[in-house]
Amino acid sequence: MVHLFSPQIVLSALLAFIRDAPSSSSSATSAGYSLHFDITNGWANLSPYKEADGFGVPKGVPRGCELSQVHILHRHAERYPESSWFDGEGMETFNRKLKSYSSEHNVSVGIGPLAFLKNWKYLLGRDILLATGTATEAVSGAEIWSKYGRMVYRAPPGMAVWDPELNVYPNGTRRATPTFRSTNKQRVLESAKWWLTGFFGPGHGNTSYNLVVIPEGNGLNNTLAAEHSCPGDLKEGTHASETFVPRMVKDPLARLSKYFPDDFDLTTSDVLAMMNFCPYEYATLGSSSFCDLFSEQEWLDFAYNLDLRLYGTSAFGSPTGRAQGIGYLLELSARLERKLIDSSDTSINTTYDNHSATFPVHQPLYMDMTHDKVIIGTITALGLQYFNYGPKGMPSNVSHAVPRKFQLNKVAPFGARLISEIWTCPEEASIEVLDKTLYANPDLSDTKSTTDFIRFVLNALDWTCPR
């Protein structure tokens, strides 16, 4: 049977529904965020990609210079949680606890703001790239084609998308097939494929480019998964986070316990899990009923916990932070010098870097798909003191987040990218003079006394509009 509603009735029903929706905070939920508050900024490295603010550095195109090379170190995008206790395992444990309490006591758990738990289902998996992640990567590939690809490959006016005829040197000689790299971890590899689809368009996979897939794991050298080269040295961040988490969940634990049965015994780990559901369900389903349970301050603290953890795992707070980025930096420098690498005492695997088929050094554009830790390690190896909190590391024995520059939603959100631009400038050019837009990329290969400049751009594709 088909029910036909008159549009008027549907509309008034909808209006009634909207009027009934809670509009401000009650004692039950802590939501009712201020207008400027964007909850997705409070998820650190689980935040969706957003252009960063430029970190205070002016944007623009150095006038008269050639954009001669672009090197992109790219993070995979939205994924299911990983197995660690503070991530996937904690959420699975909460789910099991809820289910077994319900069946043992023949009740449905959760009243007041937690009433949604009656219909809630655990829908998350483990580790793999989500559909939202495929979109993030394809968008990035398309944006990088538009802003960089068409310039370094000198696409003629009117050409919309990649064409294989572009793969030539300025003198017309054909170049080798462009080669990109990824690890073999599903989320990284799938991210690479979607990024390449965005950059080249569909249908070019077998003809226009190669993808070198380097295995990652314990005992394996891989500059794109470098923590495996220093196993066991990632503890600083873990300790800091273990100190901070109980402080961070103190208030929500007290508040939310009231809506569980007395003997449910809501724990610190349960509350952390409930917070984690927000970003992960958002990435999986587009929204989450858990988000509103927590206040603005609690999301700032949630982000701080992840910042703290990764700061101590792969950044200035870690004894191996720089070591995790040095492999990629040596590769970047080898590409700049157009040299293969035949020996190394870092995370480099020379079996790959010793051959131009797997480590080409004459491309105008490179893309390596990796993890957040490698991007963080690389900015640390570069010595970008802007992100250095100070000699004692970020404090963990505090009740709330402290002000800091190292914020993962800006440094390494899902789909993050660290771009090294090489600008070749004639003697008379000044890199201080910036144009808004690059319309034509000059060919300065026959110009004498040029200087090459490198500019690192982190999560800010837009050259002109500071946000």
Ligand X SMILES: *[C@@H]1O[C@H](CO)[C@@H](O)[C@H](O)[C@H]1NC(C)=O
Residues interacting with ligand X, by CB under 6 A? 106, 169, 171, 173, 203, 206, 215, 220-221, 342-346, 348-351, 354, 397
Report d(CA 267, CA 276) in Å as an integer.
14
Of 224 and 332, nearer to ligand X (C-beta) is 224
How far apart, in Å, are the Cα atoms of 207 and each of 54, 201, 338, 356?
36, 12, 24, 18
Whole-angstrom distance between the N-terminal and C-terminal Cα of the chain? Answer: 53
- Shortest reach from residue 48's CB to ligand X, in Å: 30
Of 58 and 203, which CB lies nearer to ligand X in the complex structure?
A: 203
From 71, 74, 76, 371, the catalytic residue: 76
E strands, 47-194, are: 61-62, 66-75, 179-183
Tally Cβ neighbours within 10 Å of residue 228: 16
Give me the count of residues in the chain.
467
Give yes or no: 76 in active site: yes
Query: Which of 50/247 has CB closer to ligand X?
Result: 247
Contact (CB, 8 A) for 113 and 168: no
Q: What is the CA radius of gyration of the chain?
A: 25
Residue 365 near residue 154, CB atoms below 8 Å: no
Query: Residue 331: which of 316, 349, 312, 314 has the closest Cα?
Result: 349
87, 270, 307, 372: the catalytic one is: 372
Beta carbon of residue 123, minimum distance to ligand X (angstroms, whole number): 25
Give the nearest distance from C-beta 380 to ligand X in angstroms.
18
Spatial distance between the Cα atoms of 151 and 67, rounded to a whole number of angstroms: 7
Q: Are strands 434-435 and 179-183 parallel, antiparallel or unpaired?
A: unpaired
The closest of 166, 142, 168, 141 to 155, measured between CA atoms, is 166
Nearer to ligand X, 297 or 350 (CB): 350
Q: Following DSSP, what letter does each residue of 240-285 receive, concatenated?
A: HHHHHHHHHHHHHHHHHHTTS-GGG---HHHHHHHHHHHHHHHHHH
Residues paired with 79 in a beta bridge? 129
Tokens of 298: 């609690």
Q: Which is nearer to ligand X, 56 or 170 (CB)?
A: 170
What's the CA gap between 362 and 225, in Å, rounded?
24
Closest contact distance (angstroms) between CB of 98 and ligand X is: 16
Q: What is the DSSP string of 331-398?
A: HHHHHHHT------SSS--HHHHTSTTTS-S--SEEEEEE-HHHHHHHHHHTT-GGG---TT-S--SS
Shortest distance in whole angstroms from residue 174 CB to ligand X: 9
| Smallest distance from ligand X to CB 434, Å | 29
Select 244 or 387, whichever has its Cβ closest to ligand X: 244
In the bound state with ligand X, the residue whose beta carbon lies nearer, of 51 and 452, is 452
Which residues contact residue 248 at a Cβ distance below 8 angstroms, ignoring those fewer than 6 apart?
272, 298, 301, 302, 304, 305, 400
> Active site includes 265?
no
**C-beta of 23 vs 186, nearer to ligand X:** 186
Helices (H) and strands (E) in the chain, counts: 12, 8
Q: How far is the CB of 58 from ligand X (least distance, A)?
A: 32
Q: Which is nearer to ligand X, 8 or 103 (CB)?
A: 103
Query: Closest approach of Cβ 212 to ligand X, in Å?
Result: 10
Gap between the Cα atoms of 401 and 395, Å rounded: 9
Q: How far is the CB of 343 from ligand X (least distance, A)?
A: 6
Whether 325 and 379 have beta carbons less than 8 Å apart is answered as yes
Please report, for residues 125, 146, 248, 305, 314, the alpha-carbon distance to residue 93 in angstroms, rounded to integers and kept in the order given: 13, 45, 20, 20, 27
Query: Which residues does the annotation mark as catalytic?
Result: 76, 372
